[in-house]
Structure 1
Amino acid sequence: MTSDFFKYQAQTTPHPLAMEISHANGSYIYDINNKAYLDFVAGVSACPLGHNHPKVINAIKKQLDSYLHVMVYGEYILKPAVELTKLLAKNLPLPLEKTYLTNSGTEAIEGALKLAKRATGRSQIIAANKAYHGNTMGSMSVMGYEERKQAYRPLLPDVQFISFNNEADLEHITTKTACVILETIQGGAGFIAPQNGYLEKVRNRCNAVGALLILDEIQPGIGRTGKLFGFEHYNCTPDILVTGKGLGGGMPIGAFTASAKLMDLLQDKPKLGHITTFGGHPVIAASALATLQEITESNLMHDALEKETLFRQLLVHPLIKEVRGIGLMLALIMTSEDIANTLILKCQEAGLILFWLLFEPKAVRITPPLTITNEEITKGCAIIIDVLNSIS
């Protein structure tokens, strides 16, 4: 299987971890030798209820018995998709009331950028340095990291970059700006949270010049920060909200949400303003609905903040410079890139899954399932400290 993996399946790095998976359950992933790995990554924030959660699995199985794909997006009434979008609206502030379901976060970003241009009649997009919003051409155009983009130019024109948390840069948002797109908490850059009312100030500037604000909640959304969406911490409601990852409960999904007035622009002039075949797929929507119901009806969001406190208490070591993030969206900032790499690889050997961030080489990702127990947190943190002691 390993040789076939490298021969037939395209890779994204020269050295993938290449662990062959047998099964997964709860907070654990098992390899083909039945070795258990405690999962502190949750599929890069995509499995908020852990692995094989019974409510998610039952929802998927129930939908499988009814129907799979039946028609391109938006033509037929599919109960799982309707109930999912209704539940999102119920848990979002106005005017965020109507949702377009997509196949991935990056597709949702594409739709959001198109909607902003359609609504404003403007072309300029403002994004943040060190931002990551996905890897399709439009999403890559608003990625604030030239090294990852240069091989694929030309990209979208009329994109300008500002620095996250830099208030002076807000003057670049003008009456020529269609939209400002920001991650509520910068992910790939190192889990950098807004400071000093930054998002509220961006919101006010957009209001003043008639630009739309798009907030990317693909990573922080779906309860990970202790609230359903990260923007709820910062007194800032976007015009367009983008989510993905954790919404699917382990299944592929994306979504962008806006007011009915904005969303209805995709219906006409031109018709078919954004189309997809498999967006809102009933099986995936059923998984997402079960996930969203469990997160909104349980104590998982409240518990995420208590679990953050436990992580911060346990992860104290001279090689850890800082613990960044909110709730269960945390990053260890190590003293060097080599220490970060060694920690991730040695922890895997010891039965703990950690991972990297895209642009901050000294960072180590900790984004476990929201369902992780205090005992599992304690166990995993002990492995981290033991590995760091061995490095020291």
Structure 2
Amino acid sequence: MQQRQLFLSHLAQTSDFPLCIEVEKAEGVWLYGPDGQAYMDLIAGIGVSNVGHRHPKVVAAIHAQVDRYLHTMVYGEYVQSPQVLLAEALVGTLAAWRTPSGHAIDNVYLTNSGAEAVEGAMKLAKRYTGRTEILSCFNAYHGSTQGALSLAGAEFFKRPFRPLLPDIGHLRHGQPDDLGRITNKTAAVIIEVIAGEAGVRVPAQAYLQALRERCTETGTLLIFDEIQTGFGRTGTFWAFEDYGVVPDVLLAAKGMGGGMPIGAFMAPQALMQVFKNNPILGHITTFGGHPVSAAASLAALQVIRDERLCETVAAKAELFRSLLVHPAIREIRHKGLMMAVEFSDFDTLKRIIDRGIANGVITDWFLFCDNSMRIAPPLTITEEEIREACGVLVRGMEG
């Protein structure tokens, strides 16, 4: 049987229309098929390959760690250099910031994925505050596990799996009128700094400041989900840096691993220590912070820093904006290289996406905004590659 037949026969499918692009090799912004087909990846595996596919320094770190050891023990028992050095580096990216209580975000819990980071943060908020209510946003996506799915603000994805977690409420992202729903019964508000799957909705600084003040006033933990925005995507290492609003708990994944699976939730030690007692082992994971993934993540972090990738984001985003000009485009929303290009309807967008893929440029749409094209390329994309990609996309808008 051919690979495509095996894929359709034996891998569990999540839709009736998978892309079925067969990948033989990947490098930089490019994916290559078995017959030499080349595709420019303008979505970076949905925000994952921030440093490009198979960055040489990430690959070297993986090779070096494989030669030392793989899994040795469940999380939190053995001292493993990749975990320790990664945690130190992550804390270093947060050294300039303090929570309203004056604490540094100095503790890192490494997980396998963004969804697991969300789950851990939910447990942390309930355990620390003794409260049960958690608020998220309408049209937010925080993962597909049952706890993370409970936070989702779209009933379409939740209804078939109910009952889910109780005591979940929702706010409108960016709308200060809703902040009164946060009370002294609220354990946490979990929010994307930039609303991703809603189609890249960028809030006003005043909104995030008011959100922070309301959470502080009510003793509610503020959890920033930076699973898509972290690791340089918006032009600063963390998106919250551009707003000067510091969370109590910070979530990361996707671009964190340089292409390997890893996530984290981070908080001050004063919060994180509640997992130690009553019960002991309050949150555990077997493979969280796997040494190979941790080594890859540290290398990706160092690449972003050493190659000064954050400093290139604004100019690259502006080049995309200047080249994506066509009457079919209704609006372009973005924060750095996290971009939504809006069209009149899904059918128009789907036709343009399909034409782009046929001509070697991969884009996508958003879960809760299906008339907008997702553009979130590796941060390493060059000016020449941007020009080439935009040329293909604009030609696909004709007719």
How many residue pairs get matched? 390
Partner of 2:236: 227
Q: Tell me the residue number matched to 2:269.
A: 260
RMSD, aligned α-carbons? 0.8
The reply on whether 1:99 has 2:100 as its aligned counterpart is no
Which position in structure 2 is the counterpart of 1:42?
44
Q: CA deviation at 1:334?
A: 1.0
Confirm or deny: 8 A CA contact 2:112 2:289 kept in the other structure. Answer: yes
- What amino acid sits opposite 1:282 in the alignment? P
- The aligned amino acid for 2:86 is L
Q: What residue number does 1:297 align with?
A: 306
8 A Cα contact 2:235 2:336, kept in partner? yes
2:395 alignment partner in structure 1: 386
Counterpart AA for 2:280: K
Match of 2:90 among 82, 88, 91: 88
Distance (Å, rounded) in 1 between the aligned partners of 2:218 and 2:53: 45
Provide, for residues 163-193 of structure 1, a one-character-per-residue CA deviation record: whole Å limited to 9, x for no partner: 1111111000000000001011111110111
Specify the alignment match of 1:22 in structure 2.
24
Correspondence 1:77 to 2:83 = no
Which residue of 1 is the match for residue 182 of structure 2?
Answer: 173
Structure 1 segment 110-189 matched on structure 2, within 5 A: 110-189=119-198
Deviation readout 1:59-102 (Å, 9 max, x if unpaired): 00000000000000010011011000100101112321110000
Cα separation, 1, equivalents of 2:311 and 2:357: 29
**5+ unaligned residues in a row in structure 2: which ranges?**
99-103
Q: Is 2:280 the counterpart of 1:271?
A: yes
TM-score scaled by structure 2? 0.97
Q: Residue 198 of structure 1 aligns with which residue?
A: 207
* Cα deviation code 1:312-364 (max 9, x no counterpart): 10011111111111111111111211111111111000010111211101011
SS state at 1:226 partner: coil
Give, as a single letter, the amino acid of the residue that structure 2 aligns with 1:53.
H
The match for 1:210 is: 219
Q: Residue 53 of structure 2 aligns to a residue in which SS?
A: coil
Match of 1:56 in 2: 58
Q: Provide the residue aligned with 2:349 in structure 1.
A: 340
- Counterpart CA distance in 2 for 1:26 and 1:173 is 44
Q: Can you list the C-alpha shifts for 1:128-162, whole angstroms capped at 9, x where unaligned? A: 11010001001000000000100000011011111
**Is the 2:205–2:243 contact (alpha carbons within 8 Å) kept by the matching residues of 1?**
no
Identity %: 47
Partner of 1:66: 68
Distance in 2 separating the partners of 1:221 and 1:64: 26
Alpha-carbon separation, structure 1, partners of 2:74 and 2:205: 44
1:298 to partner: Cα distance: 2.3
CA shift for structure 1 position 33: 1.1
The correspondence of residues 318-337 of structure 1 with structure 2, limited to 5 A, is 318-337=327-346
Match of 1:119, as an amino acid? Y
SS of the equivalent of 1:161 reads strand
Alignment gaps of 5+ in structure 1: none
Bigger shift: 297-306 or 51-60? 297-306
Larger mean CA deviation between 327-336 and 148-157 belongs to 327-336
Q: What amino acid is aligned across from residue 241 of structure 1 in structure 2?
A: L
User: Is the aligned partner of 1:350 residue 2:368?
Assistant: no
Query: Which amino acid in structure 1 is aligned with residue 74 of structure 2?
Result: V
How far is the alpha carbon of 1:204 from its aligned partner? 0.2
TM superposition shift of 1:196: 4.8
Equivalents in 2 of 1:365, 1:318: separation in Å?
Answer: 18
Report the 3-state secondary structure (helix = DSSP H, G, I; strand = E; otherwise coil) of the residue aligned with 1:256.
strand
Give the drift of 1:297: 2.4
Distance in 1 of aligned mates of 2:224 and 2:251 = 6
Preserved CA contact (<8 Å) 2:29 2:52: yes
The residue matched to 2:141 in structure 1 has which SS?
Answer: coil
Which runs of 4 or more aligned residues in structure 1 lie more than 4 Å from their structure 2 counterparts after TM superposition? none
User: 2-side partners of 1:323 and 1:223: how far apart?
Assistant: 20
Q: What is the CA deviation profile of residues 187-214 of structure 1, one whole-angstrom value per residue up to 9, with x for unaligned ones?
A: 1110111125111110000000100000
- The question of 1:245 aligning with 2:254 is answered yes
